[in-house]
Amino acid sequence: MPRDAAGAALSSRRPRGPITTDLIELLRLAGPVVLSRLGIMVMGLTDAIVVGHYSARQLGFHAMAWAPSSVLITMSIGLLVGVQVMTARAIGAGKPHETGAVLRRGLVYGAWIGVVGAVVLAAFGPLFLRGLGLKDGLAEGAAAPLIVFSLSLPVYALSVVLSFWLEGLARPGFVTIAMWVANAVNLAVNLLLVPGTLGLPALGAVGAAWSTFVARTFLTAALALYIARMKDARALGVFDKPARDRAAEAEQRKIGYGAGASNFFEVAAFAGMNLVAGWIGGLAVAAWAVVLNVAGIIFMVPLGVSTATAVQVGRAYGARDPAGMTRAGWIAFAVIAIVGLIAGCLLYPTRSWVALAYTSDPAARALILPALALTCLFLAPDAVQVVAAQALRARGEVWIPTITHLISYALVMGPLAWWLAIPRGMGLEGVVTSVIVTSFLSAGFLVARFRMLDWRDRRDALSRAGETGV
């Protein structure tokens, strides 16, 4: 093609509209974050598969130990989400140097959260399990791995701060790389400790917990070294002691309080499903662990998209761009709803193979297969609700997602699961049915609230335009 003709063709191309630009940016940010979040779940999946093939009974111990641990882990993640949001806001406001202060505050805060969580879990976790009246010696078998899980909470909290800061800067690439290398470390230690190889004793569920400790320590060290060696670390204020800013500190904690409470209600409710499964029987606990692992792996996609959404909405918030916040939110809702539907359509015909990957026990698989079939129905609404909650937090709406999760997960899902599973005799299928109902309820509330904020911002913009005569 002649140069003039090529130039004419290029000049005739339409520039990308804001919707296309935001969609591309969402996918660019979400891709590495999704892979990173998948790495988190694959670490748990690796533990479950290695332990499950070693012993179905040990898998039950692992699941019960992980249940209270997951509550504190996920609550810690929520408490630290202010690092991500405040970093994105600083970038949107054109103040990159302030991100260093966000990081340093987050590291101190994260260290305290991790230490307190470890003490609480180690001191009270075993007592809590023994007081639940679980069958088949589940409480006694879960005590030792639970204590080992507690030891890794401080280092895990620091890794969350470092990851969130990089993601808030829209630099999630190294987080993903480090996470997958940590997965390789976790697998290697699992294969050494769980079945006992190279002359080592077989530790079962305890070995899997130690594998998690080693992998988390590696991840934290790798992220800290990377940030310290970033070329623009000084320009971002990483090494500068920030001036005391009580308003910024309070805002960073406030965002975390709302997200932490939301995560607590949601994960505590899902962990409580282990209790309902424990009342059904030991195999039901193992089957529910499989369902949670499968759903959790898929959930990492919307969790990654929610991070990208929070970054985009947070930037628009920092730039005082209501239209940008609205656009970023609705694009993300549409994308993740489609992803959830596709995931359900893929899981349904492959559920038998998925169950076989976890266990060859025919009794356990008889419980797993119908539960996985029902799981397909809540993947889409569950995906939408987590993205909507993060979009609202980044938009400055902290407590509505928390109240929604309190109502949906604490007040509806738990009692409904018990009623369907025990009095109604539906067993594990009743537990999964309660999750379906709750997911639609939560998604509906949160999306409706986001829409209300759209109307409010539009009304305020029209009011300001009328006052100025524009």
| Domain positions in the chain | 17-460
Q: What whole-number percentage of the chain has pLDDT above 90?
A: 36
Longest dimension (CA), the chain: 82
pLDDT score at 452: 93
The stretch 241-264 carries a mean pLDDT of: 83
Task: Give residues with Cβ within 8 angstroms of 414, minimum separation 6.
Answer: 269, 272, 273, 434
Residue among 218, 223, 104, 224 nearest 175 (CA): 223
Per-residue pLDDT tens digits for 255-267 = 888 888 887 787 7
pLDDT score at 16: 66
Per-residue pLDDT tens digits for 40-73 = 778 877 888 888 878 877 888 888 888 788 778 8
pLDDT score at 6: 44
Q: What is the pTM of this model?
A: 0.77
Per-residue pLDDT tens digits for 69-114 = 877 887 888 889 889 889 998 888 888 889 999 999 999 999 999 9
pLDDT score at 3: 46
Per-residue pLDDT tens digits for 214-224 = 999 999 999 99
Least confident of 38-47, 154-163, 220-229, 439-448: 38-47
Q: What whole-number percentage of the chain has pLDDT above 70?
A: 94
pLDDT score at 157: 95
Could you tell me how far CA 41 lies from the centroid of its own chain?
A: 9
Cα four-point dihedral sign 332, 335, 337, 340: negative
Grade residue 212 by pLDDT with cuts at 50, 70 and 90: very high
Grade residue 151 by pLDDT with cuts at 50, 70 and 90: very high
